[in-house]
Structure 1
């Protein structure tokens, strides 16, 4: 069983890392880990229902959502579908501001032709 799990884990990582999409679904759910409450965050690719990211966190707030959104942005995800919780909207605003800053810096650093 251990060998099977190691083979599956390697294959799953390969599939997750190779999957590219511009739209993803994010959701979180409370879980009990060794008697402590934690939040399981999952991001799923919309079309094929492929898991793009899984994160276990002690909090459910803007900082965790922003971290996930930035990771998805680096992977090429441009649209995130969420259940409307307030931390998603705030994290999306933060991600938008980061994108604007990146574009401005990129343009400022490009030589003028």
Structure 2
């Protein structure tokens, strides 16, 4: 509930019907959880498969940008934006490069990717059918879970900055990456 945007006190009030816990207890749970920064395990990455999809959160449409590593299907990066263009693609890719280094980028052929890759000095190619299958399944999985999250924990704030969605995606990616067993 806290990761959905509620304060610690509001989360404790909502939980009080099931568990009698105060806001300090919830804070302690969060400290014990310690979600890690979205990262693949330390191994050589050969390429990034990158895609974006439009999703409705509340009454707003936002873009979810995802990068996965094809060998073990771990989510390397996940972010949201209100627009889809070359500048946002470049910022997303530069964050990945900062964390994992320069590697081949595989995309679906969106016009914003080749230019962003050129600016960053990255090699770019269009998805193979296998890569397309991997990223589309991952995107649908993320999209379904995020829409369910929004159904159960809708945001009612005006001019919401969607921080609760970003927190949810970080938590989701952490869970997803821990659930997947690395390929040796």
SS of 2:87's partner is helix
**Deviation (angstroms), 1:18:** 3.9
TM-score (norm 1): 0.70
Q: Which has the larger radius of gyration?
A: 2
The size of the alignment, in residue pairs, is 93
Q: Map 1:13-92 to 2 at 5 A.
A: 13=36, 16=39, 18-20=41-43, 21-74=45-98, 75-92=100-117
- Which runs of 5 or more residues in structure 2 are unaligned? 2-25, 123-184
TM-score (norm 2): 0.45
Higher normalized strand content (fraction of residues) = 1
**Deviation (angstroms), 1:30:** 0.3
RMSD: 2.5
Q: 1:22 to 1:59 in 2, by over 3 A?
A: same
Say whether the 8 Å CA contact 1:24–1:77 is kept in structure 2: no
Say whether the 8 Å CA contact 1:25–1:44 is kept in structure 2: yes
- Which runs of 5 or more residues in structure 1 are unaligned? 98-113
SS of 2:83's partner is coil
